[in-house]
Structure 1
Amino acid sequence: MSARSIFDCAPLGAIIRYSDGAPRPPARFTKKLAAWERRNSGGRLIRKQAERRVGNTTLAATFTLHEGDYGGGGVVVLRVHRTFSVDSALTFVVTEQPAAGAVRVFDRCGDDAELVHLAGSRADAETWLKSHGYPDAVLDEVTAETAANGSVEGRAVA
């Protein structure tokens, strides 16, 4: 799929893989392998931003993937996000859709909301919210229809 297709069709919470199509270099070439891994990875789709104007400049639509958290002892020290323009030449694949009945937790309402957690149920989402500081959080249950067509409708304030 193209980056535009991911932006248009993939639901927030989906697991996305991306690739430049190049073969993986042997492990002994550490620098080449590291460069290849930067162009061939994946993550959870957490944000979509529509095209916008800043002054006289038009910025293309983008989407952001959460690639991982690093830390220890239950403390996240580094959170890795990667943002792609819809003009990206990489190839994208949706490898997993959020399951029907799952609950997406957004940091705030509106079009600029970012997915901060994907819970298995509303009870799990509410339990997670009690231990994390998101006072303006919004809960959105994934329906079978939403999971099938990738739309983000029916957000409910927590």
Structure 2
Amino acid sequence: MSAQLIYDLVPLGAIVRFSDGTPRPPERHRKKLAAWEYRNSGGRLIRKQPERRVGNTVISASITLHTGDYGGDGVVVLRVHRSFSVDSDLKFAVTERPKAGAVRVVDRPGEDAELVYLAGSRADAETWLQSHGYPNAVLDEVMADAVAADVAEGRTAA
């Protein structure tokens, strides 16, 4: 599926894989393997940013994936996000959708919000929110009817 379809159909919190369709090089070719892994990986969908204008320039809509965290002893030092334009030439696939009853914690209201945590329940989300500094955060529960609508409309993981 294309990045545009991910933007249009896939909910925040879904696990998305992306690929350029090339075969994985052997482990012994470290530089080629690193370049391949850059274009063939995945992450959690955390943001959908609509098209916007900056002066006379139009910046196309984009999606952002959280691809990993680096650190140690329970401390995250570096959080890695990858953004893709909806015009990207990569192919995308949804491998997992948020389960019904899960609660998305987004950093602010509105369509430009970013997912900061996906909780298993409302109590878990509220506990997490108390120990993290997001004063404008919004809790958004994944409803069973939204998951069922995706299945009925053929928008299940492809």
Fold conserved (TM > 0.5)?
yes
User: Pairwise mapping of residues 133-148 of structure 1 onto structure 2 (< 5 A)?
Assistant: 133-148=133-148
Corresponding residue of 1:70: 70
Corresponding residue of 1:15: 15
RMSD (CA atoms): 1.0
CA distance in 2, matches of 1:126, 1:6: 28
- Aligned-pair distance for 1:148? 4.2
1:36-71: CA deviation from partner (whole Å, max 9, x where unpaired): 000000000000011111100111000100001110
CA distance in 1, matches of 2:53, 2:148: 32
Letter in 2 for 1:128: W
Corresponding residue of 1:153: none
CA distance in 1, matches of 2:145, 2:9: 13
TM-score normalised by length of structure 2: 0.92
The alignment partner of 1:135 has SS state of coil
CA distance in 1, matches of 2:51, 2:130: 34
- 8 A Cα contact 1:11 1:147, kept in partner: no
- Aligned-pair distance for 1:79? 0.2
CA distance in 1, matches of 2:132, 2:19: 33
Question: Kindly tell me: are residues 25 and 13 of structure 1, through their superposed partners in 2, closer, same or farther at Cα, counting changes over 3 Å?
Answer: same
Corresponding residue of 2:123: 123
Corresponding residue of 1:156: none
- Aligned-pair distance for 1:135? 1.1
Corresponding residue of 1:24: 24
CA distance in 2, matches of 1:39, 1:89: 10
CA distance in 1, matches of 2:148, 2:88: 25
Corresponding residue of 1:154: none
CA distance in 2, matches of 1:53, 1:136: 25
Identity of aligned residues (%): 75
TM-score normalised by length of structure 1: 0.92
Corresponding residue of 2:153: none
- Consecutive unaligned residues of structure 2, counting only runs of 5 or more, are 151-158
Question: Kindly tell me: are residues 79 and 117 of structure 1, through their superposed partners in 2, closer, same or farther at Cα, counting changes over 3 Å?
Answer: same
